[in-house]
Structure 1
Amino acid sequence: MITKYIAAVTTRFNPFKKPSKTCRVFLAHLPADARMKMKINTTVLGRDSQEPSFLKLTFKDGKEMQLDTEKLKINDVVVEVDRHSRTLNRVADLEPL
């Protein structure tokens, strides 16, 4: 997963529910130095909370992507993130030095 172009990550999940697995695995896929390179905001809900889990990404070009992790699996999330990151990578490669 290309995380170079992610500026901020916001997650909210209940760790005791099965649909929150996507958020937890996404956070585990971030590199070790991610907190120095991007803003990460994580909200862990209580055991009895009925709020749905979600993942919101902000890229360095300003695009925001809000993903419903109740319906998406981790592979789907990685594909969506990589799709936009590859576009930003191409634009960066084409810019003159």
Structure 2
Amino acid sequence: MRTREISGFLTHLAVEDQVSVSTQNQALSALLFLYRNVLMLNLSWLNEVVRAVPSRHLPVVLTRQKVRHCWRGPMVVRAAAAFAVRHLHSG
């Protein structure tokens, strides 16, 4: 691949596919490894690539009322909630 194709691919990931920052970084790291360590070529032009934008979404957090509702729900919901609590705090 030439400079234009690599730059176009990484830019396409960010702009067209709207991949996450980590996905684009993984593709970039793989290409850097290939060119630097296998092909022994320097890719100094990579600063021109359009980078993926970090997500600004906040994680969803249940309110106390919704948690109480889950605990009062059917047995399946209570079992799933108990499973989640056990595994969240076991790590």
More strand, by proportion: 1
* Higher-Rg member (1/2): 2
Shared fold (TM-score, shorter chain, > 0.5): no
More helix, by proportion: 2
Q: Normalising by structure 1, what TM-score? A: 0.28
Structure with more relative contact order (C-alpha pairs < 8 Å, separation 6 or more) = 1
